[in-house]
Structure 1
């Protein structure tokens, strides 16, 4: 152990402090590269999906204790670096910092990373940020492709397995509105905290969701919840569940959606747990209909108390505040009471995951609940973190003190000139590759 490193900071030579700071910066960069490599593999293998979190970023925010915005950016960089081997190698050697890699991954491609990496090794992070912003502006191209203007239309039907299949074709302007609505619905669906002075800035630049179904479900929930004051006579305007002649919700032998497929017992219990469902009981002698009038839904006062108590989805690691369901821990269909000791808030995805058996909830009494994996292991709300700076130094002791320091002589950056030179060189290189391919063919 170096004895000078144990001296109080004020007694150590300033040169030693500077050297240790730079050494640690390089070691942190190398450790971060390893961290992102593992994160990219974890995301590619969907290690977070078994817990029904929305993404790897949500898992990282829960497990690693970083803000959701930071977690999203780390996942983006981790996935981008996987196809940039030169940048990844320099990152693993501690020669470029995470800040530089984050900037590079916004514009670098396998064909351009070499020239960008040379600049990153020589320029400070501030210059690299300016250069990348200029490249992003210059390379943004308007979409001049011809748009198909065929008539809009669509259809829906229940598939053989009971799934609802929807296909649609929109006019361009209506399609743009639909995508905008999907993007907003996805933002609202995944938002975890209300904006406040101490709340991290949410990701307001997220693109449209690649999988639109969860956002479409959120849109449907919004419409159903927002139009209850204006009842519609059409049966299609309600979620209607027909149950057997004995009137028992647990009897799945005759349960089915109105004008839709039959429901097995597990799916029936999941459907009955949703407050927006209306039950229809059939008489034994035929099509006699009776509406369910039992107190399955929480009253407005009870629901207000539940929201004040829980504030968000209570599943550890989730924290969503939008489109929440009041879930009966002991199912109402099995005799569970509609009270605060048996109700907890769940988002739509975790509500479905619960009924799919991916985790369990136990009511402990006194409005306390425990969450467990299917094998019985408990699920912590905030897992403890631990680290050892000495282990970091030992593991990356091969990193030189000046590895992460840019080879910069203090010259200013002409961002416009540098951007123009890079784009011209890349265009020439692209033409050269195309010529070589044509010659080889």
Structure 2
């Protein structure tokens, strides 16, 4: 098959971007209506974003952002219309809805059409940074996030208030500068002794190359000192200001197969809980020099877990975390062990044993849901084939599988001769069948009489009134501009519009 001409391929890409934006706009309208009507409300579902993350293959952050945009567009008809017409991309809409209001919608639309998505992001950041920020905004936006990167390194993202941020930077820079002075003193002593400084460039290299190498080395040393300073501050603060009754210090949990400790080449694994893989030598060093909890494992069975108490032991909780990976409810992303509870699926008072087969990990919220009624009205829980099965008091299945719509994909839509209804067992509000028994075959035929919302053409689903007339490409300008001046003009125009609106209502606007 001959390759398509590049101009034709480029036109199809730009036209596809326009149609993708229009389809996203139509989909967000569905999300906004679903959210307005509380269609997501079910046992254990906290919000519309929670439901989207559960059933639409999104991360929680992406789902929250889509719901935020969908809600914002309801009160922004001009931006919503431009989005539905394919004149604005989702990236532009996502940026502009962070600051858009009815009185500023027109001028932001004009800017969004002419600016690139990158320029618009910078304008919005400048807008929000220049606007007045009070204590409530700081408290709302304060955050601390961390994750392990693909290369096994810890990535930390923080949003601190101005005073907290200044204190944090002062502590880090102080320790880093102290280490830098010690390094310079050591370098002077080495130079006086006649030893070449570490990392010195060769004499054959050019002056420019030597300078670049020295700058790169200085940056690496500065980053290393700052990272070491953060770690030192964390170690120093771990035992500071501790009082009687405070919870115990967090522990580093290392999972390691027993054979790996004895032989580096043995089959098995060793890794930090929630983190990267470790070399056996690293594990042995951590066992000697750090406070760790080590779970020796063989053939995926945790060793030394007791089963004789009413409350789960610490070892059993670790074993449950190893088995369930976090909260067992599909769609819940809670993995912090201090937020997890070992729940008896059959209550201990009614004969249930405190063993692994009768325990399941649930987070604070979901554990409270199970116990928010009398025992006669609790959610009925069991495990079948390693999966958690939960029945509501009226007999309906709840907490079905996550991402159910993506099990078959487009190839599995009606027309293949196969039913796609079984995968939605326990997915509310799609599954409404009551009195289902908790068996491994419970999903068979669950939705035979329920109309499949995915049946039919995708265009008819997203555009019930007919597809819109779309152009072959979005308007592109993106010429250079003074973005600081743009922010200044927009804020003054926003304040003017507010003042005019207040005067029209007979109440002069107070000075900001």
| TM-score normalised by L of structure 2 | 0.53
DSSP-derived class of the 1:325 partner: strand
Q: Could you say what the CA RMSD is over the residues aligned between the two structures, in angstroms? A: 3.7
Cα 1:25–1:309 change in 2 (3 A) is same
1:80 aligns with 2:150: no
SS at match of 1:380: coil
Q: Look up the match of 1:348.
A: 364
Deviation at 1:350, TM superposition (A): 0.9
Which residue of the partner structure matches residue 91 of structure 1? 83
Query: 2:506 is paired with a residue of what secondary structure?
Result: helix
Distance 1:303 1:70, change over 3 A: same
Change (3 A) 1:362 1:225: farther
Q: CA deviation at 1:86?
A: 0.9
CA distance in 2, matches of 1:398, 1:307: 50
Q: Select which of 463, 472, 494 maps to 1:402.
A: 472
Task: Give me the TM-score of the superposition, normalised by structure 1.
Answer: 0.61
**SS at 2:397's partner residue?**
coil
Please give the secondary structure, in 2, of the residue aligned with 1:429. Answer: helix
- Ranges in structure 1 where 5+ consecutive residues have no aligned partner: 1-7, 146-175, 208-222, 229-293
Identify unmatched segments of 5+ residues in structure 2: 162-243, 250-307, 414-455
2:379 is aligned with 1:309: no
Structure 2 partner of 1:339: 355
Q: Which residue of 1 aligns with 2:390?
A: 371
CA contact (8 A) 1:296 1:332 kept: yes
Give per-residue Cα distances to partners, 1:243-287, cap 9 Å, x unaligned: xxxxxxxxxxxxxxxxxxxxxxxxxxxxxxxxxxxxxxxxxxxxx
Give the 3 Å change call, closer, same or farther, for CA 303–428 of structure 1 in structure 2. closer
- Within 5 Å, which residues of 2 pair with 1:276-315? 295-315=309-329
Contact 1:341 1:367 in 2 (8 A): no
Distance of 1:360 and 1:36 partners within structure 2: 35
Check 1:96–1:360 CA distance in 2 against 1; reply closer, same or farther (3 A cut). Answer: farther
Matches within 5 A, 1:8-407: 11-141=3-133, 195-198=147-150, 226=247, 295-322=309-336, 323-356=339-372, 359-364=379-384, 369-373=388-392, 374-377=394-397, 379-385=400-406, 386-387=409-410, 391=457, 398-402=468-472, 405-407=474-476
Counterparts of 1:225 and 1:412 in 2: how far apart (Å)?
56
Q: CA deviation at 1:126?
A: 1.6
Q: Secondary structure at the match of 2:383?
A: strand
Q: Is 1:27–1:399's contact at 8 Å kept on the other side of the alignment? A: no
Distance 1:416 1:331 in 2: 63
Residues matched between the structures, number: 308
Relative distance call for 1:298 and 1:393 in structure 2 (3 A) is closer
2:502 alignment partner, one of 421, 434, 439:
434
Distance 2:245 2:51 in 1: 30
> Is contact 1:124–1:406 with CA below 8 Å preserved after alignment?
no
* 2-structure distance, mates of 1:402, 1:205: 41
1:108 Cα deviation (Å)?
Answer: 0.8
Give the superposition deviation at 1:77.
1.3
